[in-house]
Chain A
Amino acid sequence: MSVIELVDVVKEYKSGEELITALDDVTFQASHGEMVTIIGPSGSGKSTLLNMIGLLDTPTEGAVQLNGRDVTDCSPDELTEERRSEIGFVFQDYHLLPMLTATENVELPTMWEPTLDKHDRAVDLLGRVGLSDRLSHQPTQLSGGQRQRVAIARALINEPDVLLADEPTGNLDQDTGATILDELTRLKETEEIAIVAVTHDEQLVEYADRVVELVDGTVTS
């Protein structure tokens, strides 16, 4: 069964007077233990699609299903809850908070819940991405690859079913990119999660189980 599924999704938005169709009748799904890569030229709707999958945006038409549940008409607060429990994000620019240590950044999504102590899990996750010796370092004291690994650990703190990665290797050199991709592949297998990555990177395509190509808002392959 697919973890996340988009059925006949259309996304339109207004830019000035013009009505732009960013996604036109897109159907997409990703399953546990699968890495799907979305490729396509800029402006093809990749980011919009990723926002739909990540429940950051709602479609104009069509349906979004998470673990078989229809979440299309959920309120923003309900979507926040879904993101919190089911979805992890990894961004191209890492987006770590500069004043927090690596461990605190990993704990960030759970920080507002005093009853929930994920400290041990955060330390464990950092260990799994090879950062056991960087627990108290601040992001500025870490290299790009290390930062991205902190971001991956953060994405996994709430044990999500889906991990979304927007150009995860975009700011990294070839070798570091490769280690990050090895990391993701390993996590995909051990954690049984679905990974959806948007990229320009040929290297990332090699690691994917499936590639979805988007042109002008429609899926071509």
Chain B
Amino acid sequence: MAWRNLGRNRVRTALATLGILIGVVAIASLGMATAALQQQATADLQGLSNEVTVSAGPDHSHDGITADQVDDIETVTGDATVVPEKSNVTTLSARNGAETRLRVTALTKADAMYNVSRGQVSNRLRSGALLTESDAERLGLEIGDPVSYNNRLYRIQGILSSSQGFGGGRRELVVPMSAMAEQDHYDSVTVLTTSEQSVESLTTDIESWFNDDDEQIVNVRNFAAVQQNVDSFLGTLQLGLLGIGSISLVVASVAILNVMLMSTVERRGEIGVLRAVGIRRGEVLRMILTEAAFLGVIGGILGVVVSAAIGVVIFEILVGSPLDAFSWQSARYLLYGMGFAVFASVLSGLYPAWKAANERPVEALRE
């Protein structure tokens, strides 16, 4: 019955449905977009979230962390992996004449610090080197090719994956510790926590070991705070975007309110007849609410289909894996959109339904 009533003015029904559809698409696709951003940001930050970096502070007596201090850090941090690093800057030139200036990092335990997209990374590197992908391309270097640093040759054994850490634009050559043997001290020490250890407490432990109120021997940094900031920013972004989405659904429900109001005014006499032949007020109410709910459900379903398609595209672009759009993190926005659509439709059908049901049949029949 409600279904056929909607069929009576197809254009009006279609327009109301379109309104709901747009509202649902706005909510669901904006929600999915933030879910995609969040997933990407979390993936980006994951490599940093368990790192504590120690470097020489302003009151340090040397220009870097000493080997003794590295031992101290190892003592303080227990099971954590401690990776001392020396770093420098160099210019690499290729046979084809291309040149690139990049950061050189010398370390042991390269396998704990780096992921490669191609080739392999061994613990000590020995005579091998790792190079970021963009530089390898620029210089026309492949795995197995030699690079020269400080008059010594190293063979490239791995290409660093470019999407690690904030490293989108990172340019780095990683060489064995022996390459910088002439440098006495370490520029920084990276502590990789085990899963049981907290980044914050390790940071405090190291600080209290070396520093006191007067002297800041070492600087200790971690990225936990960065991750928190990013998370909270994304949370705010998400709320904002969902807010925008909701506004469009509010507009859509005003459209439904209008459609339902128009159609009840138009059918005033007819509803009067229904009431006269003994249809109860509750039944009239139910009929009109059902019509409104139908609008919401149809608009919602269409909206969910369109949003799912948009979600797949968003995830393909932002994350690179389109099917992640159907993970709960993102797919729940489809559910929210649908729920909101039905809720808003019924809510805006309420007043017209109430008005129609409570009209006195005598008045309605006079039409």
Contacts and interface: CB of A to CB of B under 8 A. Distances in A.
B278 A109 contact: yes
Interface string B256-283: 0000000000000110011111111101
A115 B327 CA distance: 43
Nearest to B278: A84
A83 B276 CA distance: 7
Q: Which DSSP category, helix, strand, loop or mixed, fits chain B's interface?
A: helix
A158 B365 contact: no
Contact of B365 (A56, A87, A97, A108): A56
Interface in B224-253: none
A84 B8 CA distance: 27
A81 B278 contact: yes
Contact of B277 (A57, A76, A100, A109): A109
Interface string B1-21: 100110110000000000000
A133 interface: no
A84 B7 contact: no
A105 to B, nearest CB: 10
A100 B1 CA distance: 8
Q: Which DSSP category, helix, strand, loop or mixed, fits chain A's interface?
A: mixed
A74 to B, nearest CB: 14
Contacts of B270: 95, 97
A112 B276 contact: no
Interface string A16-59: 00000000000000000000000000000000000100101100
B84 interface: no
A174 to B, nearest CB: 26
Nearest to B366: A47
Contact of B362 (A56, A91, A97, A111): A56
Contacts of A54: 276
A87 B279 CA distance: 12
Nearest to B275: A80
A77 B280 contact: yes
B361 A56 contact: yes
B359 to A, nearest CB: 11
B332 interface: no
Interface in A52-102: 54, 56-57, 76-77, 80-81, 83-85, 87-89, 91, 95, 97-100
A154 interface: yes
Nearest to B267: A97
A95 B269 CA distance: 8
Interface in A119-162: 154-155, 158
B150 to A, nearest CB: 88
Contacts of A155: 277
Nearest to A104: B1
B362 A80 contact: no
Nearest to B3: A99
B278 A83 contact: yes
A51 B275 CA distance: 13
Nearest to A109: B277
Given A80-B275, A89-B276, A112 B362 contact: no
Nearest to A76: B281
B286 interface: yes
Task: Give the residue among A91, A111, A112 with the most B Cβ atoms within 10 A.
Answer: A112
Contact of A154 (B277, B360, B361): B277
A154 B365 CA distance: 17
Given A56-B361, A57-B362, A112-B283, A100 B4 contact: yes
Interface string B105-125: 000000000000000000000
A80 B286 contact: no
Nearest to A82: B278
A119 to B, nearest CB: 15
Contacts of B276: 54, 56, 83, 89
A47 to B, nearest CB: 8
A77 B280 CA distance: 7
Contacts of A91: 273, 365
A136 to B, nearest CB: 14
Contacts of B5: 99
Contacts of B278: 80-81, 83-85, 87, 109, 158
Contacts of B365: 56, 91
A83 B360 CA distance: 14
Given A57-B360, A85-B278, 13 more contacts: A51-B362, A56-B276, A56-B362, A80-B275, A80-B281, A81-B278, A84-B277, A84-B280, A95-B273, A100-B4, A108-B277, A111-B1, A112-B280
